[in-house]
């Protein structure tokens, strides 16, 4: 059974989610109806939160990551290094 994402969040207020996790779930819930189990599964994605300083690479060219990154707050950019050593931003992601 699908529920309103805010209702599912309100029903799960006993959980201690990291800052930004509720916003992350609400954004997804605005795009698609979420069941209570969907909300719980998404909240589980927020269990290993870390703060990343500015200008820090999460993944470098050639890496083969085995996990995902979700920006709960702030923004990130994808870029490639050009032959002259400058960076060309190819994508920007914000919270």
Q: pTM of whole model > 0.85?
A: no
- Residues 42-89 have pLDDT tens digits of 888 888 888 889 889 988 888 998 888 888 888 899 999 999 999 999
- Residue 5's nearest CA partner among 32, 44, 73 is 32
- Residues 1-42 have pLDDT tens digits of 555 555 555 555 545 677 788 888 888 999 999 998 999 898
Beta-bridge mates of residue 76: 93
- Reduced to 3 states, what is the DSSP secondary structure of residue 84? coil
């Amino acid at each position: 059974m699908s529920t309103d994402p805010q209702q599912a969040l309100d029903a799960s207020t006993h959980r201690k989610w990291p800052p930004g996790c509720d916003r992350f779930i609400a954004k997804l819930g605005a795009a698609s109806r979420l069941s209570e189990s969907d909300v719980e599964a998404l909240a589980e994605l927020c269990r290993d939160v870390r703060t990343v300083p500015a200008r820090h690479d999460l993944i470098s060219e050639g890496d083969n990551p085995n996990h995902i990154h979700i920006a709960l707050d702030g923004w990130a950019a994808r870029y490639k290094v050009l032959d002259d050593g400058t960076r060309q931003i190819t994508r920007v992601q914000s919270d």
